Amino acid sequence: MPQHLSPREILAELVGFATVSRDPNLPLIEWVAGYLHSHGIESFQHRKPTELDTKAALFAHAGPRVAGGVVLSGHTDVVPVDGQSWTSDPFVLTEREGRLYGRGTTDMKGFDALAIWAMVEAQQRGVPLQLALSYDEEIGCVGGRDLAEALVASDLPRAASVIVGEPTMMKAVSGHKGSVNFWVHVHGVEVHSSILHTGVSAIMWGAKLIEWCNGINAQNAASTPGPVAAMFEPPYTNVHVGQISGGTAHNITAKDCAFGVGFRIVPGETTEQWVTRFKAEVARLTEQMQQVRPEAWIEITPMFEVPALRPGANNSAETLVRAITGDNASLQVSYGTEAGHFQAAGYDAVVCGPSDIILAHTPDEYIEIAQLEAGQRFMDRLLTRLG
């Protein structure tokens, strides 16, 4: 007889794989595939195109091969523990005072463990259920797009709904902002700072672009939000610069300045309109720089894009989750998830998973045992409804 692990035992296995986004996740994927296979569930891997031997997504179907079911979706990568002070080994599941500690317990291997447990239960009960596990969520939901596209292209029965198990304390989140991020490299021209006017300081011109970001935030904050934007906090699209570097010495105009610019976009506004505005400002500043020195310019490189999850009526995934949990609150969040990619691929999608997002990425990350148990009850009720 195959080994039938509990959600907690599966979680211990998953935490034991140090799947930091910069590192491979293939050993974890192969463990999941082997465990599902031992219960008669065949899975399929989608390898990351640029890392064929190190990273993969996994999708699988349990129970009767019929359309219209549910996909349980989670990511396998976690954020680094570098520089964090942990009380116990972050890659060994450790229980203390009703909590299970380990990197990824909340974000989001707790849900992954529940989903894998539910797949085995679905196979045994003869209930149709699908699993989707991605890579590289923590560096821009990149793997979610790849996974959604691979799932649509597969010959598996088409599910109607997707539950993305990011931590929401088992409440339904029906909408989130989208995002688009760029890496900016301002190319200046070095001269002695005493003759600043003859050169181009990449830092000082980069500051003009950052100030444009500040201006956009102030302008958007002062505007009256529309009905969809009003659901979010803050109720507008905002622009953020989180890293910056540049310069050689205090008395030399900076040759280089580099920083990231990220937009958190409310549903109803498009990525295209914000990218267009951003590129127009970059072009305007570049033109002014080149009036001083023609060789100066601003280079922008796209990093990643995450579609918004648009709230709306007749969302079968949201209706299903609310029926199981009894939660009728209207919840939207400003962070992004892979649910936007699934919605863009034509699925109804909702975000619902155990634990609290405030615990994600922290030293001594944990999930309450009570939350893991609540997640297991949710999965059991889900299988009953699908049966």
Given 77, 138, 269, 368, which residue is catalytic? 77
Residue in 338, 367, 310, 360 with CA at minimum distance from that of residue 163: 338
Residue 32 near residue 58 (C-beta atoms within 8 A): yes
Could you give the CA distance from residue 78 to residue 80 in angstroms, rounded to a whole number? 7
Q: Determine whether 53 is an active site residue.
A: no
The C-alpha atoms of residue 93 and residue 15 are separated, in whole angstroms, by 6
> Side chain identity at 356, as an amino acid letter?
D
- Rounded to a whole number of angstroms, the CA Rg of the chain reads 23
Nearest to 378 by CA among 302, 320, 293: 320
The question of whether 23 is a catalytic residue gets the answer no
26-38 vs 110-125: helix axis angle to the nearest 10? 20
Q: State how far the Cα of 201 lies from the Cα of 187, in Å rounded to an integer.
A: 8
Q: At what angle do helices 110-125 and 7-15 cross, to 10 degrees?
A: 130
* Helix 369-386 and helix 110-125, axial crossing angle in degrees, nearest 10: 30
By CB atoms closer than 10 A (0-12, 13-18, 19+), residue 122 is buried
CA dist 111 and 379 (Å) reads 10
Cα distance between residue 365 and residue 371, in whole Å = 14
Q: Helices (DSSP H) in 293-368: which residue ranges?
A: 316-325, 339-344
Catalytic residue among 107, 112, 136, 137: 137
Q: What is the DSSP string of 75-114?
A: E--B---TT---SS-TTS-EEETTEEESTTIIIIIHHHHH
Catalytic residues: 77, 137
